[in-house]
Amino acid sequence: AIERTLSILKPDATRRNLTGKINARFEEAGLRIIAQRRILMSEAIAGQFYAVHRERPFFKDLVSFMTSGPVVVQVLEGENAVAKNREIMGATNPANAAPGTIRKDFAESIEANSVHGSDSLENAAIEVAFFFATSEIVA
Ligand code: CMP
């Protein structure tokens, strides 16, 4: 089925000017960027977005990293978009990511891992709505 998923190009990706190269991976895989915005997350926004990780030992570092520079938030649409995007991204830890994935090719570390993608269709809907109004998504 055609799905939508939330994608974030993280501060390590914008810092190294990799947004076009990463977007090309999405488009080559048949995903369409139907909404996109470059922002600097506040601590409040990052903390809210990652609230599910609040009790994890890496939470503080995660928020500090995600607010350390610009990010690009985007909505990707396509057949099986949630799983397809996770496949293209590769494993969270670039050391475990398969060859040819975004994280294998671009990520610096488990924290500076270049991209975020929703992990389920249910979370995708929540995460898309967190950043985008319906009127900003143009399919
Ligand atoms: P992301 O998909 O954005 O969701 C939570 C993020 O926490 C994850 O990607 C990683 O970049 C980051 N993170 C940092 N340290 C860890 C860790 N030890 N285990 C899992 N995620 C981590």
Backbone angles phi, psi at 135, to 5 degrees: -70, -15
Q: Looking at the chain, how many residues does it have? A: 139
- Which among 11, 37, 29, 18 has a CA at the least distance from the CA of 131? 37
Q: Is 123 in the pocket of ligand 1 (CB under 6 A)?
A: no
64 CA to centre of own chain: 16
pLDDT digits (tens, 9 = 90+) for 4-46: 999 999 999 999 999 999 999 999 999 999 999 999 999 999 9
- In the block, tokens 């990799």 appear at 18
Strand partners, 76: 5, 33
Residues 6+ apart with CB under 8 A from 136: 35, 37
- Extended beta strands in 69-125, E state: 71-79, 115-117
Using pLDDT thresholds of 50, 70 and 90, give the confidence band for residue 56. Answer: very high
Q: Is 25 annotated as ligand-binding?
A: no
Q: Is 130 in the pocket of ligand 1 (CB under 6 A)?
A: no
Q: What's the ipTM?
A: 0.95
Q: Whose CA is nearest to atom 11 of ligand 1?
A: 111
As to burial, measured by CB atoms within 10 angstroms (0-12 exposed, 13-18 middle, 19+ buried), residue 107 is buried
Report how far ligand 1's centroid is from the alpha carbon of 58 (Å).
8
Q: Is 38 annotated as ligand-binding?
A: no
Residue 16, pLDDT score: 98
Residue 131, pLDDT score: 98
Q: Kind of pairing, strands 32-39 and 71-79? A: antiparallel
pTM above 0.90, yes or no: yes
Residue 14, pLDDT score: 99
Question: 53: helix, coil or strand?
Answer: helix
pLDDT digits (tens, 9 = 90+) for 71-115: 999 999 999 999 999 999 999 999 999 999 999 999 999 999 999
